[in-house]
């Protein structure tokens, strides 16, 4: 089946899905987006994703030209049109066409775009054996400059960190905030386990408040596992018993080495495995 892309209420063949080069989403990264997952044709926690999309838009004074209910229907219809049950969904809202200047008041016709595809972020071996990450020099955006809780089209901060990670031979990289505290990875949130307690950076550490992160916290609490959202340092990660990442595309993926230091026993730990299993059951329920 040929891939179809939704743009402002119309489904286009992939090769015909285009927007203006004068769109400020293209020119300046002026827009917002969400990444969602579907399992068995059902979009995982769509209400939470849409709320975050609308929050991101509100934070940058961008009015999304359709309602949340209309967006939900458009997402579901685009999934069906592409015949994809288990897939990845990218929802994009741009500022619209304008002049070559920065002035957003010159823009009009904001674009609502929905792309559906199949995505495998990490190979199975990373879930089986765990992955290695490295701390990079690229600092997470300062919240007073561009709050990381805004999922904007300007992802250069994360991309530069990703490049540095690749140069070090790692597929994912750990970013610190302006205080030198652990924030998150380039596309995933981070958790560690220490003495039977699940620890993760708080919202104010300069992180994107991940939907999968929230689901894992709920699962841990349901399993009577203590959870603390507290500032963390690299030292806390180095001496952790377990470490794992969470994200829409990644789900729950174990980490067994950080900055060449072996985490725990060097294999995915029991709490990580349990939460990984619980999340997959939740997502496919």
Residues annotated as part of the active site: 151
Residue closest to 131 by CA, chosen among 274, 279, 267: 267
Give CA–CA dist 155/151, Å, rounded.
8
Token pair 């775009």 in the structure block, residue: 113
Listed residue (55, 58, 92) closest to 208, CA to CA: 55
What angle do the packed helices 211-222 and 270-283 form, to 10 degrees?
A: 110
Spell out the residues 6+ positions from residue 130 whose beta carbon is closer than 8 angstroms to its own: 253, 254, 255, 256, 257, 266, 267, 268
Instruction: Check: CB of residue 61 under 8 Å from CB of residue 93.
Output: no
Tokens of 55: 């929050």
């Amino acid at each position: 089946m040929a891939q179809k892309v939704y743009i402002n209420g119309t489904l286009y063949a992939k090769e015909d899905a285009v927007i203006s080069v004068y769109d400020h989403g293209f020119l300046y990264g002026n827009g917002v987006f969400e990444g969602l997952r579907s399992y068995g044709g059902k979009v995982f926690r769509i209400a939470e994703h849409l709320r975050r999309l609308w929050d991101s838009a509100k934070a940058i004074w961008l009015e999304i030209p359709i309602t949340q209910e209309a967006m939900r229907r458009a997402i579901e219809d685009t999934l069906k049109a592409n015949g994809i049950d288990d897939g990845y969904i990218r929802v994009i809202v741009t500022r619209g066409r304008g002049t070559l200047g920065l002035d957003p008041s010159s823009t009009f016709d904001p674009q609502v775009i929905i792309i559906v595809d199949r995505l495998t972020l990490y190979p199975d071996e990373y879930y089986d054996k765990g992955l290695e990450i490295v701390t990079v020099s690229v600092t997470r955006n300062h919240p007073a400059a561009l709050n990381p809780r805004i999922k904007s089209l300007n992802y250069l901060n994360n991309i530069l960190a990703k490049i540095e990670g690749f140069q070090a031979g790692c597929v994912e990289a750990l970013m610190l905030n302006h205080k030198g505290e652990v924030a998150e990875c380039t596309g995933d949130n981070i958790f560690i386990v220490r003495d039977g307690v699940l620890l993760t950076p708080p919202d104010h550490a300069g992180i994107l408040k991940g939907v999968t992160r929230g689901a894992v916290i709920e699962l841990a609490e349901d399993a009577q596992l203590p959870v603390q959202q507290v500032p963390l340092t690299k030292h806390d990660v180095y001496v952790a018993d377990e470490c794992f990442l969470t994200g829409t595309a990644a789900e729950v993926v174990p980490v067994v080495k950080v900055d060449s230091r072996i985490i725990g026993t060097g294999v995915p730990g029991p709490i990580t495995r349990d939460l990984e299993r619980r999340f997959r059951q939740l997502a496919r329920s």
